[in-house]
Structures are given as structure tokens and as C-alpha cells.
Amino acid sequence: MPVMVSLAIVLVILHGYSILAIPHNTVNRPLLPRFVAVEKPVMLIIGPYAAKWFRQYGNGDDSRFNHQLVWLLVNDAKTLELRLERIRQVSPKARAIVFFPLLPDVEDSAAQIKTKISQWEQQLNSVLAHYSLPAVLAVYARLSSVSGESQQVTERWLSDIAIDTQLAFSPEEAICQLSARIDSTPISTPQDVQRAVISKQLLVWLTESGITQCLARVFSPASLRLNQLMLCDCSGGFHRHGAWSSWLAKRYALLPAVSSRTAEPSLPVIKLKPQPGHKPERAAVREKAHVLRWSQLLVTIILAASLLITTVSIHQQQQQFRLNIQRVLNPLDDLSAVKLQGRIMQLQALYTDWLPCTEIPEMRTWGLSSCAGFLAAINQRTAILTTLPSYSTQQWRDPLFNSGSSTLLPQAIPQLEAIAELIRTHPQRKVVITGHADNIGSKRINDVIAARRAKAVAQWLTQHGIDPSLLITQTAGAEEPIAPNDNAQGRQENRRVDVIILPSAEITKEFTTL
């Protein structure tokens, strides 16, 4: 590296001398069109939750500038009328756009939310009789969880706003468009998977609770035209559980964690394209004549050497990555619950090990680094493993087997029916059934008992309509305990059967190959 620095200094001195010592011809070249200033659009924050949750954006006539926009808080319909009249008088060319935030977890029930929306509907009817304004509906909810260093980023918008004032949608149409956008969004991390699934359920809840129908009376093509529906993932959580969280807990037994502090909601990013002027200016631009100098040859040699060194480093880096990831790309047909968690932890550790790779200066300078592709490959395989459907009989209080026995107990029937229903929801998918035992007895006996337990479950499933060709049985013996074996309760939990539904053949092949 010192040699490279010395050559660079010599090169700068030689070029400086050549520029000062040798005269060059000049030519005129037209400049690019000069961009004219665009008057900032005005976003009017209205609705039943504007005054309390967005008070940082000012009261009275003051305003805040954010992302090329002017954001103004509107507490009530009277203030909205005054704001619109003020904009018409002072900035008649400025576009006024309504921003309607909805926070479904700050009320105890959907009925309370609909009541507040209806109250605003009545206020808006008189004010918007002489206006036709585009509007954005923004829903703030916890759609994913964060951990570790990622807790610094607690809010994420699913998309930017692209304002087209000619469009108008009903809330139902906007929900369908957003649902399609969620389905087409690339998923690279387990958090992305969780965000996509919970977002779709939030859209379902808006319709089932009647909130969508209530919003349809607020947004009309004649006065308040709904331009876009947006979701903000407040992954840091809210300070309480409200209507949305209660529905999620009742429907799926999922209750989002609450936050220890009440954070102010963020605003979405809106990007505007500048408009070019009609009369481009011209100016004289000095252009250096293309003169071949020996110093340029030196530049070429230095750059070629640097590129060659970087290419060799990248090749070595790729070989090292393949060696590291090959350890976790084994076939999936021997997975148990414990092995599955071990695979996921290996991938997460591998991601952490390779994350600094993206910061290597030599790689970033040339833009040839494969590190981003490495991390994407790890994330893709982690997402496959974390979304595998699975079932473990230790989740129930009633045991399936007595100690030293592979005979199914009568109280095991509800669990077996749950396993059968899980398999039926994923047709034509291979299923791995792993039998486990406590540590009472020798290793050989425990291996045999665990294998018989897996086969007993497979036999019951076959008798109840499950295709036997899809079932793979295996034994883990007493090698994968999930509880201490020094007490009766722990040994009962270890006498279990795990069921994991494998991905399709195409996904399995993609998982095991690079």
C-alpha cells in the first residue's frame, strides 16, 4: 500500500505540471437545462388522531418542512377551512394533499374507531363541499418485531407515496392494490416474512371490523379522493394493546409486545421530480484537448494492477464462502425440531461473520464484491427454515406415551388430529416424523423405543387418510432432550414426537445448491 500511495503522489505532480505547462484548446458546449423551482406541496394532517399524535407538526399558522413538503396539522374542520383558504390566497399553485393517519391500537375496540371516523365525516361534509382534494390514508401498526442492533430502526414504511392527483380509489380498491404490492415485494429476512404475513391480516381486519366501510363514507371521488393506502410498521410497538392487537390475539393467539415509551409516529417519504425549464442557458465550457501522455499509461497500469489484485481477492472470498456455507446445506429430510433450530442458528452466525465483508474498502471501490450476494443467499435460506410448518407433542400437557412404551395413549388423539390437519393443509409435501425418548434405559433401547414411537404416529396418520409415501420416520433416541431428565415432568416432556413439513422439491433443491 505505501508503494501505491507514492505512485499516486507522483502521478498527481506530473499531471499538475502537464496542465500548467501545456496550453489547451477550448470549445463551447451547451449546458444541461436549468431546473426551475417547484412550489412545495402542502400536506394537511387531519383526522381523529392528528391532534394528539402529530402535534409536533405545529398548531396555528406555523409549519414544518420534511422531504420536499410542507406539513401542516389540522385539529378540526374549521382549521381545515382556514388552511385551504390561506393556501388559495398565498400559494395558489401549491397542491394541497390530505394525510389521514389511522392508529388502530390506540382505541379499545373497532366500534370506538368507527365512531371517531364518523364524527370527522360529519365535520368534513360542510368544509369540502367546494373542494376536490387528493388524500393518503396511512395506517400505523406493529407488523414485525425487532431484536439486537436492529432496534434502532423502529418504523418502516412499506412503500413511498407516488402522488397522482388524477387517480381516485375506494378503500376496498386501495386495500386490494396494497395487498398485491405486499405479495410482489421481495422477502430477504425473517422479519420481512413476518411483516408481510401480519400486514395481510391487518387488511383483513380492517374489512371484517367494518372500518373499511366507514372510511368509504369519508373518501369520495367528488371531494376527498383516496390516492393511496400506506402501512407503517411500528416494530417498536405501542404503549398499550388496542382493537387491532385484541383481534390478532383472539384470532391467532398472537399478542404484540408493548413499548415502554410512546414514540411520535413518523411521516412517509414523498419524492418529487423536478420540472425542466423551456429555455436552456448556454455558457462557454473549457474542454481539455485529448492529448496522450505517458502518465496516462501509468494510470492504466496502476488501475489494472489494482483490479487484478481485487479480482484475486474476490475469487478467494467466494471459495471461502462456499466452504463455510456447505456445512449447512445438507439435505432437509433428516430434520428434527432441535436440528432445525441448530441450522437456523448456524445460518444466523454465518450471516454475522460475513456482514463485515461488505465494508472492505478495496471491494467497495471497484463495486465487484460478492458480499451482498452472500448475505442474500444466507437470508433466503434462513427464511426457508424459519417458515417451515412444524408441530411438537410436548406443547400439550397430555403425554402420548408412557415411559418405556411406544403405545399411543387415548389422550393422544387430539394431538394426532392436529398433526393430521396440519399435514392436510400442505398437500404433496414430505413430512419428517422424529421420535424421542427420555434417558431411562440404555442408548440402544431408547433408540428403538423412539423409532417405534415415530412409526406409531405414522401408522395412525396413514389409517386416517395421510399418504404413507409422504411420511419419513426417524429416531433421535434420548440425544435431543428439551427438558432435564432428572425429574418426572422433564422426562415426560422428552417422550415426544416432532413433525416437520418439508418445503417443495424445487425449494429443497434451491436450498441445498448455490
Tell me the C-alpha distance between 360 and 344, whole Å: 26
Regarding whether 209 and 95 lie in a shared domain, the answer is yes
pLDDT for position 301? 78
Domain count of the fold of the chain: 3
Residues 70, 63: contact at Cβ < 8 Å? yes
- 234 inside domain: yes
Tell me the C-alpha distance between 454 and 392, whole Å: 12
| Beta-strand pair 431-436/390-392 | unpaired
pLDDT for position 271? 66
Domain boundary among 386, 406, 435: 386
- 17 inside domain: no
pLDDT in tens, 85-96: 888 888 888 888
pLDDT reading at 36 higher than 60: no
Q: What is the mean pLDDT of the chain?
A: 78
Least confident of 161-170, 228-237, 292-301: 292-301
Choose the most confident range, by mean pLDDT, from 184-198, 365-379, 441-455, 497-511: 441-455
Regarding whether 483 and 411 lie in a shared domain, the answer is yes
Residues 435, 447: contact at Cβ < 8 Å? no
Sequence-ordered list of residues with C-beta below 8 angstroms from that of 24, at least 6 positions apart, any chain: 286, 288, 289, 291
Residues 265, 232: contact at Cβ < 8 Å? yes
pLDDT reading at 157 higher than 50: yes
Band (272; pLDDT cuts 50, 70, 90): low
pLDDT reading at 187 higher than 90: no
Regarding whether 70 and 204 lie in a shared domain, the answer is yes
- 35 inside domain: no
pLDDT reading at 276 higher than 60: no
pLDDT in tens, 289-309: 444 566 666 667 776 776 677
117: cell is 371516523
Regarding whether 433 and 341 lie in a shared domain, the answer is no
Band (227; pLDDT cuts 50, 70, 90): confident
Regarding whether 168 and 311 lie in a shared domain, the answer is no
- 466 inside domain: yes
- How buried is residue 478: exposed, middle or buried, by Cβ count under 10 Å (0-12/13-18/19+)? buried
- Considering only residues 344 and 360, tell me which one the structure prediction assigns the higher pLDDT: 344
Angle at 260 between CA 257 and CA 263, to 5 degrees: 100
pLDDT reading at 11 higher than 50: yes
Regarding whether 329 and 397 lie in a shared domain, the answer is no
Regarding whether 449 and 349 lie in a shared domain, the answer is no
Sequence-ordered list of residues with C-beta below 8 angstroms from that of 291, at least 6 positions apart, any chain: 22, 24
Least confident of 43-52, 307-316, 404-413: 307-316
pLDDT for position 6? 57
Q: What percent of the chain has pLDDT over 90?
A: 23
pLDDT for position 101? 93
Regarding whether 174 and 96 lie in a shared domain, the answer is yes
Provide the 3-class DSSP secondary structure of residue 254: coil
Band (116; pLDDT cuts 50, 70, 90): very high
Instruction: Give the closest residue to 241 by CA, choosing from 249, 232, 253, 229.
Output: 249
- Considering only residues 325 and 262, tell me which one the structure prediction assigns the higher pLDDT: 325
Instruction: Give the closest residue to 221 by CA, choosing from 183, 173, 266, 186.
Output: 173
Domain boundary among 386, 421, 439: 386
Mean pLDDT confidence for 251-267: 76
pLDDT in tens, 461-481: 999 999 999 999 999 999 999
Sheet holding 497-501, edge to edge: 390-392, 497-501, 431-436, 471-477
Regarding whether 270 and 333 lie in a shared domain, the answer is no
pLDDT reading at 285 higher than 50: no
Regarding whether 330 and 314 lie in a shared domain, the answer is yes
CATH code of the domain in which 435 resides? 3.30.1330.60
Band (161; pLDDT cuts 50, 70, 90): low
Residues 314, 369: contact at Cβ < 8 Å? yes
- 509 inside domain: no
Domain boundary among 276, 304, 331: 276
- 37 inside domain: no
Q: What percent of the chain has pLDDT over 70?
A: 73
Strand partners, 331: none
Calculate the CA 67 to chain-centre distance: 22
Least confident of 172-186, 248-262, 491-505: 248-262
Cα distances (Å, whole numbers) of residue 107 to 144, 212, 241, 271? 20, 16, 8, 32
Mean pLDDT confidence for 52-66: 60
Band (228; pLDDT cuts 50, 70, 90): confident
pLDDT for position 359? 66
- How buried is residue 195: exposed, middle or buried, by Cβ count under 10 Å (0-12/13-18/19+)? buried
pLDDT reading at 81 higher than 50: yes
Regarding whether 382 and 423 lie in a shared domain, the answer is no
Structural domain range at position 486:
390-504
26: cell is 477550448
- 12 inside domain: no
- 2 inside domain: no
Regarding whether 382 and 396 lie in a shared domain, the answer is no
